[in-house]
Chain A
Amino acid sequence: MANTVLVYIDHFNGAASGASWETLGAARKVAEALGGGVTALVLGSGVEALAQQAFEFGADEVFLADAPGLKDYRAEAYATVVSKLAKDAAALLFPNSSRTRELAGMVAVDLETGVTPDAIAFEVKDGVIVATRPIYAGKLLVKETCAKARPQIVTLRGRAFPMPPPQSGRKGTLTKVEAAVEAKTEVVEYKASEGGVSLTDAAIIVSGGRGVSNNPKLAPPAGMTDEKQIEVWRAQQGFALVRDLAAALGAAVGASRAAVDAGYVPYAYQVGQTGKVVSPDVYIACGISGAIQHLAGMRTSKTIIAINKDPEAPIFKMARFGIVGDLHELVPALTAALKQKLGK
């Protein structure tokens, strides 16, 4: 148990995030260095199917806490269960998400140990995980260690580690654990986001900036006279083009802070230092100039493509491919061309 590496499987309504399996793959590397095994933690209600998936992605053992009281993720209840299971482990890894960052922090308090959030790389030296994580929104990187306290807790950024190939039918030891659920909070309901692909999981992201509203050729509907109202209306027409391109590519839709602050789209879309930090394979920036805050949130994208009418826009310095021109003409043309090329 003392050499065991635990991996928390993060899921929503029984569907695990891809990052959970990436974390299982990374855990194998840690376990090899420590000479221990990999145990997955599955918490929820009616989630036994996740245990089999965890075996296929490399877990030797699964601790399954399946109880009606764990149906909804509630930080207090989940932290208590995880802390109990993790107290003798060498390391506890989480795929980084809105849930796990909070959970990892709370477990660290219970076990009086350190937590390194959002690691993008790591090595194991003399039994200690040396994790690299961004600080100052990625303007710097820091190597962080927790030399003495155990378990070492690290959350791993999604898409920063390779997905292990699943081995169909692979088996392991399933251990069912009793979970006493203690939580003062109660989940009333969920409000789904407006469809589409989740930004943090997306392999491709198409984002719109301030430029989406800048289409003077578009005549506002009759009777619309308020300048601000016209601007937002124009932006919505512009974002429809961005969404069409995203839909053709199976991509998520993002936005710059300028577009969010101007009220074009809700905050949930914001990519950047004060929004979501993403690292997709492909990032297509439409009408985004590339303010430092925005670049901080997407600079680790593998290939950046920029469409902007200003040839001096900083985004072109980060981009692999670019077109200088009007996004309102270029984006629909690109959608059509790619649909044809990719046979969609």
Chain B
Amino acid sequence: MNIVVCVKQTPDTAATITVLDGKVSWGDAPLVINPWDEYAVEQALRTKEAHGGKVVALSLGPEAAREALKHALAMGCDEAILVSDPALEGKDSLVVSKVLASAIQKIGGVDMVFVGRQAVDSDTGVTGPQLARRLGWPALSLVAAVSALDPAGKSITVERMIDEGRQVVRSPLPAVLSAVKELNEPRYPSFMGIRKASKATIPVWSAAEVGLTSVPAAVLAWPEIIAPPKVETKCELIEGATPAEAAAKLADRLVAEKVL
């Protein structure tokens, strides 16, 4: 199985995010691999361990995105490729999906692509399905379980999370799978893995090198970034001599205030 896993470098989810000079700032918070992508990497590795093959981690981003790729290598990916080009800075998912699709075509012979369900920074959750559409492959989004995989028959059956439960889908390969948390428990990078990753050479591909001679302009713009208004809520603490009394008082207040 030739597997590609796409990863993104994002600020840590515990970071305080502010607007500074009209731009998003995360101060000196650490940049990490997008948490959703760890589930994608883990599933890619498990698939390789069960069926053989190779896992290539792919990222689009600035030089700093190397760290996300190193994390993926330390977890056990065989190779990593960074697509980086000043012309690609600040591009939206429409462009990103095009670049990733071109890179995957350049890698060639890919059977499966894993992505995380969304990036915790831009929160769009559309890059995976858009990548699938670009490649003309089925999008298996929000995968919570892989029920069957037949590498010889090039077929896979997955359980997708939908709002009403799960949808079990059978699909031919190649396909693009987006991972949710229920899919697995990502492993921690091993000491050996970290050592290997620190020594690995990560090739950098420019937009032209993945076959995009001209980079299309982004169609989306962010005219304004706003810090949400601080909600100053005064909490009315309800007290009572017994839990029953406090609960009854709360019930009274909720009904009186028409909350319920």
Contact among A76, A275, A321, A341 for B238, CB-based, below 8 A:
A321
Whether A98 contacts B139 by the Cβ 8 Å rule is no
Minimal Cβ-Cβ distance residue in B for A311: B237
A293 nearest CB across to chain B (Å): 6
Interface of A is mostly: mixed
Whether B13 contacts A274 by the Cβ 8 Å rule is yes
Cα of A193 to Cα of B165 in the assembled complex, Å: 4
Q: How large is the interface on B (under 10, 10 to 19, 20 to 34, 35 or more residues)?
A: 35 or more
Contact among B129, B161, B170, B226 for A188, CB-based, below 8 A:
B170
B209 at the interface (CB under 8 A from A): no
Chain B, residues 212-256, CB within 8 Å of chain A (1/0): the string is: 000000011111111110010101111100011011101111110
Q: Report chain B residues within 8 Å CB of A188.
A: 157, 168-170
A99 at the interface (CB under 8 A from B): yes
Q: Report chain A residues within 8 Å CB of B181.
A: 267, 270, 274-275
Whether B247 contacts A336 by the Cβ 8 Å rule is yes
B149 at the interface (CB under 8 A from A): no
A57 nearest CB across to chain B (Å): 20
Q: Report chain B residues within 8 Å CB of A142.
A: 222, 224-226
A116 at the interface (CB under 8 A from B): yes
B49 at the interface (CB under 8 A from A): no
Q: Report chain B residues within 8 Å CB of A141.
A: 225-228
Whether A324 contacts B237 by the Cβ 8 Å rule is yes
Residue with the highest number of chain A CB atoms closer than 10 Å, among B122, B161, B171, B228: B228
Knowing A106-B129, A116-B220, A341-B255, say if A140 contacts B17 (CB, 8 Å). Answer: yes
**From residue 109 to 160 of chain A, which have CB atoms closer than 8 A to chain B?**
109-110, 112-118, 130, 132-149
Chain B, residues 1-44, CB within 8 Å of chain A (1/0): the string is: 00000000001011011110000100000000001100000000
| Other A-B pairs, 20, CB within 8 Å; known A105-B130, A306-B235, A325-B246 | A102-B126, A102-B141, A105-B126, A109-B133, A115-B94, A136-B121, A140-B226, A142-B224, A143-B226, A144-B220, A190-B164, A191-B168, A273-B120, A274-B35, A274-B36, A305-B250, A319-B233, A320-B259, A323-B239, A336-B247
13 contacts between A and B (CB under 8 A): A79-B133, A98-B162, A105-B124, A136-B11, A140-B226, A140-B227, A148-B219, A267-B180, A268-B182, A306-B235, A323-B246, A325-B243, A334-B251
Residues of B within 8 A of A (CB): 11, 13-14, 16-19, 24, 35-36, 92-94, 97, 120-130, 132-134, 138-142, 144, 157, 159, 161-172, 180-182, 219-228, 231, 233, 235-239, 243-244, 246-248, 250-255, 259-260
Which are the 7 A-B pairs with shortest beta-carbon distances?
A105-B126, A333-B247, A329-B243, A337-B251, A193-B165, A114-B220, A114-B219
